[in-house]
Amino acid sequence: MTELATMDFHSQPPAGEAKPWAFPAPERGTLANGLTVLHCHRPGQQVVAVEIILDAPLDAEPAGLDGVATIMARAFSEGTDKHSAEEFAAELERCGATLDAHADHPGVRLSLEVPASRLAKGLGLLADALRAPAFADSEVERLVRNRLDEIPHELANPARRAAKELSKELFPAGTRMSRPRQGSAETVEKIDSAAVRAFYDRHVRPATATGVIVGDLTGVDLEALLGDTLGAWTGSAAEPRPVPPVTADDTGRVVIVDRPGAVQTQLLIGRIGADRHDRVWPAQVLGTYCLGGTLTSRLDRVLREEKGYTYGVRAFGQVLRSAPDGSGAAMLAISGSVDTPNTGPALDDLWKVLRTLAADGLTDAERDVAVQNLVGVAPLKFETAAAVAGTLADQVEQHLPDAFQATLYQQLAATGTVEATAAAVNAFPVDRLVTVLVGDAAQIKEPVEALGIGAVKVVSAE
């Protein structure tokens, strides 16, 4: 039974005239201490974002000390030559700032956000942290214990557990990429302040670092401000570290991480593929979006909106590490969770979606909508200073030109259906995908084996 509406209907309105928008072009300079600085004035953005990129990648961690980059990153906000750990946290919060730091394969990133009115103070604290971190024994010891306490929480989280297993499965044993970014219990417990200090001395210096500053910089004398803050950081000259290529074994197979009684199965299906240096990147972005970028993409159209197996499944490409010579790679993956009884049918449908894509390709209409979305959302996506700074910092970290993002939008608009199809099919070949399932093996193993998507092995969740 349907119901009659009582409103006056009007036909769908046409779009107005688009207003020009371009991804902001930063200004680039170098301080006397060798620090590269990019800045970008964004009128109205009252919270200024500052990103620092340090050439201290995970594969620089000494053998057996996985996690030392992470502990160092966290220890930056635990006191300096001017403030104790408690005082430093208090001073940051006093200027309404937040400072986050994390270590990943390309390097260590620090992200400061501070109201424009207190930028000088916030930037001063950040500079102190980089220039003269205290790395006090007792604070590092606490960070180590804290990190050890976090590990069981991560293992209990299905999405994080799946990510850990996929890295282990995909990358050659012995490579840093095969192991948890933040270290394991065995390696973290060996870290002390001397190890953190040694890692800092070896890998942290202004000459190999870059700062990105974005926000409403009205009335800010940036040169003087930088001179007083980040300019006071000193260090020896050094060549950038060479970046090793990324390799992986994507032989089609399935690993079930057993969680008896789980009401859902967490899926993570991945391999590695092209990063932003590859000419295929715009087509891969477009094709991946059509496959699983949103609720109306192919995967969710079936798995969610037709079958109701899931709250949502996404396909994505995330750069792992890039090199100037193009030997880097991105993780290409499909992730989501499906209810336990429907795990087999959901995977069956997922593979059908991939096979159909390979057989019939994308439609022009799909391609058009995807381009309109990916290009059209740019002004929304980069409304805040933090979003712009984050993207500029990613570009630096991935050895890309400052105009990369702006150019990408032109390339996306020029990418056709055939190229997008080819890129998506190459990114997600049905027989070259490593599938990690975190779920109840007793219930899902048999139906998954029946699908023929690769050999199935079961490992314990612990």
Partner 1 sequence: MPMGHTATAQAGSGGLTATEHRLANGLRVVLSEDHLTPVAAVCLWYDVGSRHEVKGRTGLAHLFEHLMFQGSGQVKGNGHFELVQGAGGSLNGTTSFERTNYFETMPAHQLELALWLEADRMGSLLTALDDESMENQRDVVKNERRQRYDNVPYGTAFEKLTALAYPDGHPYHHTPIGSMADLDAATLEDARAFFRTYYAPNNAVLSVVGDIDPEQTLAWVEKYFGSIPGHDGKPAPRDGGLPDVIGEQLREVVEEEVPARALMAAYRLPEDGTRACDAADLALTVLGGGESSRLYNRLVRRDRTAVAAGFGLLRLAGAPSLGWLDVKTSGDVEVPVIETAIDEELARFAEEGPTAEEMERAQAQLEREWLDRLGTVAGRADELCRFAVLFGDPQLALTAVQRVLDVTPEEVREVAKARLRPDNRAVLVYEPTEPTAAEAPADQDENEEAAR
| Residues within window 79-98 making contact with partner 1, judged by CB under 8 A | 85-86, 89-90, 92-98
CB-side neighbour CA atoms (13 Å) of 110: 30
Residue ranges of alpha helices (H) inside 361-402 are 364-376, 378-381, 385-397
Site string for partner 1, 215-234 (x = CB under 8 A): --------------------
Q: Is 184 helix (H, G, I), strand (E, B) or coil?
A: coil
Residue from 28, 41, 102, 142 binding partner 1 (CB under 8 A): 142
Quote the least distance from Cβ 87 to partner 1, whole Å.
Answer: 8
The helix or strand, by DSSP H or E, that contains position 152, with its residue range, turns out to be helix 137-156
Quote the least distance from Cβ 162 to partner 1, whole Å.
Answer: 12
Interface region with partner 1, contact rule CB under 8 A, candidates 25-33, 54-62, 142-150, 245-253: 142-150
Alpha carbon of 351 to those of 110, 344, 362, 448, 458: distances in Å?
A: 40, 11, 16, 12, 21
Site for partner 1 in 358-417 (CB under 8 A): 368-369, 372-373, 375-380, 383-384
Binding of residue 7 to partner 1 (CB under 8 A): yes
- Closer to partner 1 by Cβ: residue 229 or 266: 266
- Closer to partner 1 by Cβ: residue 203 or 304: 304
* Residue 192, phi then psi, degrees to nearest 5: -135, 180
Phi-psi label, residue 194: left if phi above 0, alpha if psi -120 to 50, beta otherwise: alpha
Quote the least distance from Cβ 338 to partner 1, whole Å.
Answer: 7
Quote the least distance from Cβ 282 to partner 1, whole Å.
Answer: 17
Q: Is 347 helix (H, G, I), strand (E, B) or coil?
A: helix
Tokens of residue 176, six digits: 């840093």
- Closer to partner 1 by Cβ: residue 33 or 45: 45
Residue ranges of alpha helices (H) inside 67-136 are 68-75, 85-94, 119-131
Any idea what the Cα angle at residue 75 is, between residues 89 and 141, rounded to 5°?
110
Residue from 82, 172, 311, 407 binding partner 1 (CB under 8 A): 311
Determine the size of the site formed for partner 1 (CB under 8 A). Answer: 91
Measured distance CA(397)–CA(388) in Å, rounded: 14
Q: Is 279 helix (H, G, I), strand (E, B) or coil?
A: coil
Binding of residue 432 to partner 1 (CB under 8 A): no
Quote the least distance from Cβ 13 to partner 1, whole Å.
Answer: 4
- Closer to partner 1 by Cβ: residue 93 or 201: 93
Tokens of residue 238, six digits: 């050094």
Q: For 12, which DSSP code?
A: P
Residue from 245, 308, 324, 452 binding partner 1 (CB under 8 A): 308
Site for partner 1 in 319-338 (CB under 8 A): 337-338
Quote the least distance from Cβ 16 to partner 1, whole Å.
Answer: 4
Site for partner 1 in 112-141 (CB under 8 A): 113-115, 118
> What's the gap between Cα 106 and its chain centre?
11
Residue from 120, 132, 155, 430 binding partner 1 (CB under 8 A): 155
Residue from 146, 234, 363, 407 binding partner 1 (CB under 8 A): 146
CB-count exposure of residue 384 (10 Å: 0-12, 13-18, 19+): middle
Tokens of residue 280, six digits: 């295929």
Site for partner 1 in 274-293 (CB under 8 A): none
Q: Is 153 helix (H, G, I), strand (E, B) or coil?
A: helix
The alpha carbon dihedral of 390, 394, 396, 402 has a sign of: negative
Interface region with partner 1, contact rule CB under 8 A, candidates 154-162, 183-191, 203-211, 220-228: 154-162
Quote the least distance from Cβ 263 to partner 1, whole Å.
Answer: 5
Measured distance CA(304)–CA(288) in Å, rounded: 17
Contact status, residue 231 vs residue 31, Cβ threshold 8 Å: yes
Beta carbons within 8 Å of 429's beta carbon, 6+ residues apart: 358
Quote the least distance from Cβ 140 to partner 1, whole Å.
Answer: 13
Site for partner 1 in 439-458 (CB under 8 A): 440-443
Interface region with partner 1, contact rule CB under 8 A, candidates 241-249, 277-285, 301-309, 422-430: 301-309
- Closer to partner 1 by Cβ: residue 10 or 173: 10
Site for partner 1 in 20-49 (CB under 8 A): 20-21, 43-47
